[in-house]
A and B are shown apart, each in its own frame.
Chain A
Amino acid sequence: MAHVWRMIAQRLALGFLTLFVVSLLIFGATELLPGDFAEAILGQSATPETIAAIRRDLGLDQPFYTRYVSWLGGVLQGDFGNSLANQKPVIELISKRLGNTLFLALYAAAMAVPLSLTLGILAALFRNSIFDRMSNALALTSISFPEFFVAYILILWFAQTGYFPSIVRLSSGISFGETLYRCFLPALTLTLVVTAHMMRMTRAALINLLASPYIEMARLKGMSPMRVILRHALPNALAPIINVVALNLAYLITGVVVVEVVFVYPGLGQLMVDSVSRRDIPVVQAVALIFASAYVLLNLTADVLSTLSNPRLMHRR
């Protein structure tokens, strides 16, 4: 088992290195500001004295690396600085919304992953049938649709008729079942957006394997097609499937931004969009850092899992 742990440790180290560089990039991006941070805060009311005062307050007169280290130190302790718009600590704005966004993403993932894997396996099993062609065409179409289009179609079908609410209001007193019900439409939108891709890739990964000799052997033994796929093809297709699942879960992170705006969902994406139009840089930095870390961590997990699923990679000489 030792080499497995070493592999995981290596990947983790690499992941943290990536995160470090990403944080450097997110922080360093403010250096590109025309003018600087202090002028951005003051806007029209900037005078040389006030700018100098703010620069001193925020430590902008320090060199870049000092500011970066103190920013990173703050971030690691959960201190993202204060919002420019209302002077509240960023962490206060983020903490509750982060939970909401994670909930929505997990909800969507819990629907999308089983659905797309089942559909993908069925499409591989009945390849070139009507079912396969229909699901393929639908997948291609739904990839081409903007998220907000899907969202509004669902609103038209389900919210117009009164089955589900089109605006998500979350309050602390409601039960879990009620939360699930209220978040159903945004979660369904995200599910539809990512299912197509996952399904197509699952089908492709399985079909790739179906031409190999050991599958032919299994068939000649007289196994049922279902068993051939589930017992013989699926384990070997796991690595690409895990990768595509992770890729799509990562895609959920960005999909969430648009969907939250459509359904007025109180999550991080909505906060980010509002902050971008207000040019509230500390908030945008914090949210971008959270999204980027989630993305990096998901890719890292996928990497580790797909290595673990492949004995040839595990026991590489």
Chain B
Amino acid sequence: MSIITTLFWFAVAVIGAMALGWLFRAFVVAVSPQRHAQEMRKAPLTASFGLLVILIYVLVAALAPVIAPFGESEVVGGEFLPWDSTYLLGTDNLGRDMLTRMIYGARNTVGIAFIITALAFFGGTVLGLFAAVVGGWLDQGLSRFVDVLMAIPSLIFSLLLLTIFGTSVLSLVLVIATVDATRVFRLARSVAQGIVVMDYIEAARLRGEGKWWLITREILPNAMAPLVAEFGLRFCFVFLAISGLSFLGLGIQPPTADWGGMVRDNATLITFGDLTPFLPAGAIALLTVAVNFVVDWQLHRSSGLKE
């Protein structure tokens, strides 16, 4: 396929995406109650397209066993069969149905990325806020420790840890969550430090509130906007990291379906001009783009900037 035709299809895809975004926005505005409709009407097309994509991914992931035509690792036919009416997207290197693997891949890859992000986020935020509230040696100790961990590139550090703990889903989750928690810690701490010096925190301290109350009731609500945006971005990074690791054969292990691994298994097809291996890679890219669009919109909204 030449570059010109690819660019043409890319343009068609962009226009189609915007049209979908417009339709979805109109639909949401029509069905949601007054207050939400107001917000949604102002959403840019990119953001509503992003929301639509995320919604579809979540639905596919949740309903995987219902929509998938075959079992997750069931060998249904010959290897590398072309697209036809039974195997809509053909079969992979072991003769498993590609479409089924894509659908289950949504569940596994997105699900695991979400769990990791949530873990990293919980750990990083709690420690970061604690460090900011308590201060002193706890803050110093944690911050310097995180500095050292961040002095090693994250992929390299994850690879080192995976060598030691072996490649299983559990160690993958724990390793990536630890590595990413350091980044969340940094942000949570710096945001919270701006809040800790406020008068209302002083007032709460004088009232004799405990540290846990300070964190959950006073600081967290005020630190929510940057943290939510960070959650979206962090999810993208985690998602790319685990698909990268799976692509290297060190992430989610077969026979569990996973998009990064699927690209690797079927990469030989590309040299024959078959586009099937691009589907899982494209699925990864599409979700990251969608999340980025939504995060951009949220950041714009919370920053209060006008056009």
Binding site for B on A (CB under 8 A): 18, 21-22, 25-26, 29-30, 32-34, 140-141, 143-149, 152-153, 155-157, 159-161, 166, 250-251, 253-254, 257-258, 261-262, 272-273, 275-277, 279-281, 284-285, 287-288, 291-292, 295-296, 299
Contact = CB atoms under 8 A, between A and B. Distances in A.
Interface in B247-267: 247-250, 260, 263-264, 267
A273 B251 CA distance: 11
Interface of B: 1-3, 6, 148-149, 151-157, 159-167, 236, 240, 243-244, 247-250, 260, 263-264, 267, 270-271, 273, 275, 277-278, 281-282, 284-285, 288-289, 292, 296
Nearest to A15: B151
B240 A288 contact: no
A25 B289 contact: no
Nearest to B167: A277
A254 B164 contact: no
Contact of B153 (A148, A161, A279, A291): A291
B159 A276 contact: yes
B240 A146 contact: yes
A18 B164 contact: no
A271 to B, nearest CB: 11
Contact of B243 (A146, A157, A254, A288): A146
Contacts of A160: 270-271, 273
A284 B163 CA distance: 8
A211 B22 CA distance: 35
Nearest to B154: A254
A25 B152 contact: yes
A88 to B, nearest CB: 18
| Of A22, A26, A149, most B-chain CB atoms within 10 Å | A149
A29 B164 contact: yes
Contacts of A33: 164
22 contacts: A32-B165, A34-B165, A144-B288, A146-B281, A148-B247, A148-B263, A152-B267, A152-B278, A156-B275, A156-B278, A254-B156, A257-B156, A257-B248, A277-B167, A277-B250, A284-B163, A288-B152, A291-B156, A295-B152, A295-B156, A296-B151, A299-B151
Contact of B248 (A157, A161, A261): A261
B277 A152 contact: yes
Contact of A295 (B151, B248, B289, B292): B151
A145 B281 CA distance: 8
A149 B260 CA distance: 10
Given A276-B162, A277-B167, A144 B152 contact: no
Nearest to A153: B278
B244 A30 contact: no
The 7 closest A-B pairs by CB, nearest first: A144-B288, A254-B155, A149-B281, A144-B289, A292-B152, A284-B163, A254-B153
Contacts of B148: 18, 21-22, 25
A18 B151 contact: yes
Nearest to B289: A144
Given A148-B281, A254-B155, A273-B248, A166 B271 contact: yes
Nearest to A140: B292
Contacts of B236: 144
Contacts of A18: 148, 151
B244 A250 contact: no
A30 to B, nearest CB: 7
A144 to B, nearest CB: 4
A291 B264 CA distance: 24
Contacts of A157: 1, 3, 6
Nearest to B149: A25
B250 A276 contact: yes
Given A258-B244, A258-B248, A273-B159, A30 B151 contact: no
A26 B285 contact: no
Contacts of B277: 152
Contacts of A146: 240, 243-244, 247, 260, 281, 284-285
B194 to A, nearest CB: 21
Contact of A32 (B1, B164, B240, B260): B164
Nearest to A148: B247
A152 B270 contact: yes
A146 B292 CA distance: 14
Contact of B163 (A254, A261, A275): A275
A292 B153 contact: yes
A287 B247 CA distance: 20
A145 B288 CA distance: 7
B292 A149 contact: no
